[in-house]
Amino acid sequence: MSENNEQTIAKAVETILYALGEDPKRDGLLKTPNRVAKALQFLTQGYHQNPKEILTQAMFDTSNDEMVLVRDIEFYSMCEHHMLPIIGRAHVAYIPNGKVVGLSKIPRVVNLYARRLQIQEQMTEQIADAISETINPKGVAVVLHARHMCMEMRGVEKINSTTVTSALRGLFKSDIRTRNEFYDLINSHTPSNF
């Protein structure tokens, strides 16, 4: 984000503070517009990243044709409707088709899409499509579990509700055994000493 954009956001935040009945010139709020602008820059950095570049930075030949699963990837996003937090976990699996990617690249792709204004359903699809299109695996599976502050802090105010979305591609969609293996793995408990 350019400095000009950051200043524009800071000015808008100052206007919002006035509209809320606050005084942006008082001690506690004096630097708030700039802090919010910097926070929004960080929270939306995914707009300036390319999933293909991330995944191809560490792509390797392999003879492995068994599932690769990265489970319990924490993510933080903001809903595009209210700009309130979405807090969740992602489970991402793929079946290699001659190529694997460095394990850290999967959470980086999750973060890339989380760091945009989102709806969970769209984010789930975007992660699956990015992996599918870039490494051309035999299958991709993505499941997101998330809490939405727009449901908990306002509106219906249901604090214990979780939204679950999935996106299945290739063998995960066509082969029930592969799909069941994925769901069994993401739902199994890891030993406490792991």
Active site residues: 79-82, 120, 148, 150
Angle between helices 32-43 and 3-19 (to 10 degrees): 120
165 closest CA partner among 144, 141, 139: 144
Strand residue runs (E) in 40-121 = 59-61, 68-79, 85-95, 99-101, 117-118
Please give the torsion angle defined by the CA atoms of residues 135, 101, 131 and 143, in that order, rounded to the nearest 10 degrees. 140
Structure tokens at 100: 């694997």
SS3 36: helix
Q: How many residues would you count in the chain?
A: 194
